Structure 1
Amino acid sequence: MRKWEITFLDHKGIIDRLELASDNQPTTEEAAVAVRTKLFPVTAKADLNDFEGRVEAPAVKWLEEQNGVRITDINEKP
């Protein structure tokens, strides 16, 4: 398994990082789900597409619109 570093801005605008193990580079949506699990563990299992207005990347949209969290980069760790 390769290790990936997800870089994101939290709701205060502070740069934070999260490590994720995966064989392939995570998509932005997969990274958003991992960040959501770290920052908001209570909502980690919520299926955000159960709500009105289905979107292709619900975790990304939810993090940005509801919490001001934005994923800025996904890089493989050496």
Structure 2
Amino acid sequence: MKEWEVIFANQKGEPTSLMISSEQQPSEEEAARAIRSQLFPLLVELDLNDFQDRAHSPTARWLKEQNGVSISSISPRP
């Protein structure tokens, strides 16, 4: 499996990185779910009914709108 580095701005606006193991490059939604599980472990199974099926990448949208967390890049780790 390949390692992917997800760089994102946390709640304080500080650049932070998270490593994800995956054969293919994770989508923004997959990266957002990994970030949510790290920052908010109790909310892993949060029901996003307000966004589900109405928004592209509902978890990424929720992180940005509710917590100020935004994904900057997803790149392979050398």
- Same fold by TM-score greater than 0.5: yes
Deviations for 1:16-73, whole angstroms, at most 9, x for unmatched residues? 000000000000010000000000011111231x236732211011000000000000
Matching residue of 2:19: 19
Aligned-residue CA RMSD in angstroms?
1.4
Matching residue of 2:5: 5
Unpaired runs of 5+ residues, structure 1, are none
Aligned ranges 1:1-78 → 2 under 5 Å: 1-48=1-48, 50-51=49-50, 54-78=54-78
Number of residues of Structure 1 aligned to a counterpart in Structure 2: 77
Identity of aligned residues (%): 43
TM-score under structure 1 length normalisation: 0.91
Secondary structure of 2:26's partner?
A: coil
TM-score under structure 2 length normalisation: 0.91
